[in-house]
């Protein structure tokens, strides 16, 4: 059975992005290229910056510890390899300051799936699925693409740290 947790407060996303990263990461922002934007994410080993469908707004974020399960309502679904080293994960928007939106996960390799849908003019629902895996996953995957994504294959698996 999956462990499910709703994160508080709601996420404020801006510049069409939000970040998921291990607490050990000092600079979680990634430097986006056009190819990153077209595929909907930029990532490093323990950091992922995901594009949101909307430019600015708030999102209800749910953490599901277990494999991705489609509900048929998701408009964008992206899976990426993710390494947890500290045991604490942070979910932030790029303009959020001093927001404590964290949760605990055992240190391990994960398959992280971000599933998104628009709820209103400035509202999204984001479900983050963390499936623990025995071996590191090598490649990311776009599972459901909305009309804003235009990925080039192979997907770009690394990004520079924004500084």
Residue ranges of domains in the chain, CATH in brackets: 3-147 (2.60.34.30)
CA 56 from chain centre, in angstroms, equals 16
CB 43 within 8 A of CB 159: yes
Record the tokens describing residue 1, joined without a space: 């059975």
Backbone φ and ψ for 73, nearest 5 degrees, come out as -105, -10
Length of the chain: 163
- Scored b (16 or more CB within 10 A) or e, 29-51 reads bbebeeebbebbbbbbebbbbbb
- Asked if 39 and 149 count as a contact pair (C-beta separation under 8 A), the reply is yes
Please tell me the predicted confidence (pLDDT) of residue 149.
Answer: 97
pLDDT, one tens digit per residue, over 27-85 is 999 999 999 999 999 999 899 999 999 999 999 999 999 999 998 999 999 999 999 99
pLDDT beyond 90 at 106: yes
Whether the pTM exceeds 0.75: the reply is yes
DSSP 127: E
Element (H, E) at 36: helix 34-39
Residues ≥6 apart with Cβ < 8 Å to 100: none
Q: Residue 121's CB: how many other CB atoms inside 10 A?
A: 7
Whether the pLDDT of residue 97 is over 90: the answer is no
């Amino acid at each position: 059975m999956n462990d499910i947790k709703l994160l508080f407060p709601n996420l404020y996303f801006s510049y069409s992005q939000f970040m998921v990263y291990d607490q050990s990461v000092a600079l979680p922002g990634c430097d986006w290229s056009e190819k990153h934007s077209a595929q909907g994410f930029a990532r490093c080993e323990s950091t992922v910056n995901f594009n949101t469908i909307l430019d600015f707004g708030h999102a209800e974020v749910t953490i599901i510890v277990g494999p991705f399960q489609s509900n048929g309502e998701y408009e964008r679904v992206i899976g990426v390899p993710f390494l947890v080293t500290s045991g604490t994960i942070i979910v932030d928007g790029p303009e959020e300051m001093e927001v404590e939106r964290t949760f605990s996960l055992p240190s391990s390799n994960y398959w992280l799936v971000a599933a998104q849908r628009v709820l209103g003019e400035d509202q999204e629902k984001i479900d983050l699925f963390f499936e623990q895996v025995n071996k590191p996953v090598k490649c990311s995957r776009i599972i459901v693409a909305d009309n804003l994504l235009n990925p080039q294959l192979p997907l770009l698996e690394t990004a520079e740290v924004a500084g």
